[in-house]
Amino acid sequence: MKKILIINGPNLNLLGNREKTYYGDTTLEKIKTICEEHSKKNQLECFFYQSNHEGEIIEKIQLVDKDFDGIIINPAAYTHTSIAILDALRATSKPKIEVHISNIYAREDYRRKSITSEAVNGVICGFGENGYILAIDAINNLIYNDA
């Protein structure tokens, strides 16, 4: 079975409580359950991770080539600021999908630029928790079509 890593960045551990206008009521734990169930249907083993620390996210990304077949990442606020995460994503040859719960292009000006998207195969945003399902479908397609 192919393995994927789903990384969630800073403050996503607060989902369900923060800025419900943008992020809704869904918790990160519920998203994790949805991802694990949908991954199984696609013959993927899902490893779910969240960190508020840039260095820890980078260290997880650096494991992808060795331990995983693809990565889905919601860099959260680091989307707009982290050249270090961009560089880590560029360093892996595995398929990569960036996902965002809100539509970053309909938000504040400073959120409309994704630095990290320069290193991924595609970006899915604005579909709430369903964006993760779309990302799993996309990564599944990339993994099995490249195999």
Q: Which of 22, 23, 49, 132 is catalytic?
A: 23
* 105 labelled catalytic: no
pLDDT score for 146 = 66
pLDDT score for 147 = 53
pLDDT score for 92 = 97
Q: Residues 74, 48: contact at Cβ < 8 Å?
A: no
Scored b (16 or more CB within 10 A) or e, 33-64 reads ebbbebbeebebebbbebbbebeebbebbeeb
- At the second CATH level, the architecture of 2-146 is 3-Layer(aba) Sandwich (3.40)
Q: Which of 38, 49, 80, 100 is catalytic?
A: 100
pLDDT score for 113 = 82
pLDDT score for 52 = 97
* 110 labelled catalytic: no
The domain locations on the chain are: 2-146
Across the chain, which has 147 residues, the per-10-residue mean pLDDT values are 97 79 81 97 96 98 97 95 97 97 81 89 95 97 83
pLDDT score for 47 = 98
